[in-house]
Amino acid sequence: MRIDIVTIFPEFFSVLDVSLLGRARQSGIIDLGVHDLRDYAYDRHRTVDDTPYGGGAGMVMRPEPWGDAIDGILYASEGRGIVDPVILFPSPAGELFTQSLAQQLSTEQQLVFGCGRYEGIDQRVVDYAATRARVKLVSMGDYVLNGGEVATMAMIEAIGRLIPGVIGNPASLVEESHSDGLLEYPSYTKPATWRGLAVPPVLMGGNHGAIAAWRREQQLERTRRVRPDLLPPE
């Protein structure tokens, strides 16, 4: 998968050199391009924002650098033979980013992340991008971040680990929170007793049917307790 990121903080994404995603990049499963929006600014101060039309607090990102950055990325994509990229703008006003959306996006050829700062990006950037590619505004949840960078990192991690070959043991993707609509069951390892706390005996009995039933019950209990919204209406 090709991933492009447009940001005014390119150094933020140096963490993508390490860990599972770093290895996926080295092995060529993920091909990453990080673009400094200021390289596309029009003035020598490399300005990328301005005051909002209609007034109000804060600054809005100007459309021209964004337009040029998007054009450059899509031009390079054509050269790479990529046909139908997806451009994602992290925004608290977007659709909620879920495991199911991560699954869908993990099958794409190319994802472009546009990280807005300040009070947002001029709306015409999103409208223009939608004339060139499939576009989505995506939110990490009902809270406000300072910009799209942290949201982009989270999305790349959630999507990247679903790409075949990124995680060594694909079975570990099957039994985890949200993969079947429920929260994950609790896990234990050795020692059998630690600081007076014992591992549930069912896990040590070797009865696989009983273990599966216990784990299912734990999933349901946890989900009922902390995330009843995930359960179907009774």
Residues that bind ligand ADE (CB under 6 A): 90-92, 139-141, 143-145, 147-148, 151
Nearer to ligand ADE, 145 or 167 (CB): 145
Q: How far is the CB of 111 from ligand ADE (least distance, A)?
A: 15
**What residues are paired with 25 via a beta bridge?**
none
Distance CA 162, CA 173 (A): 8
Residue nearest to ligand ADE (CB): 90
Nearer to ligand ADE, 140 or 183 (CB): 140
CB 86 within 8 A of CB 133: yes
Note whether 145 and 116 are within 8 A (CB): no
- First-to-last alpha carbon distance for the chain, in angstroms, is 40
Q: Which of 27, 100 has the CB closer to ligand ADE?
A: 100
Q: State the greatest distance between any 2 C-alpha atoms of the chain, in Å, as a whole number.
A: 70
What is the nearest approach in angstroms of ligand ADE to the Cβ of residue 13? 15
User: Whose Cβ is closer to ligand ADE: residue 139's or residue 179's?
Assistant: 139
Q: What is the 3-state secondary structure (H, E, C) of 14-61?
A: HHHHCHHHHHHHHCCCCEEEEEEHHHHCCCCCCCCEECCCCCCCCCEE
CB of 180 to ligand ADE, least distance (A): 25
> Per-residue DSSP letters for 99-139?
HHHHHHHTT-SEEEEE---TT-B-HHHHHHHHHHSEEEEEE
* Nearer to ligand ADE among residue 68 and residue 119 (C-beta): 119
Question: Please, which residue, 21 or 115, has the CB nearer to ligand ADE?
Answer: 115
Full 3-state SS string of 166-204: CCCCHHHHCCCCCCCCCCCCCCCCCCCEECCEECCHHHH
Q: How far is the CB of 196 from ligand ADE (least distance, A)?
A: 41
- What minimum distance in Å lies between the beta carbon of 117 and ligand ADE? 9
Shortest Å distance, C-beta 138 to ligand ADE: 6
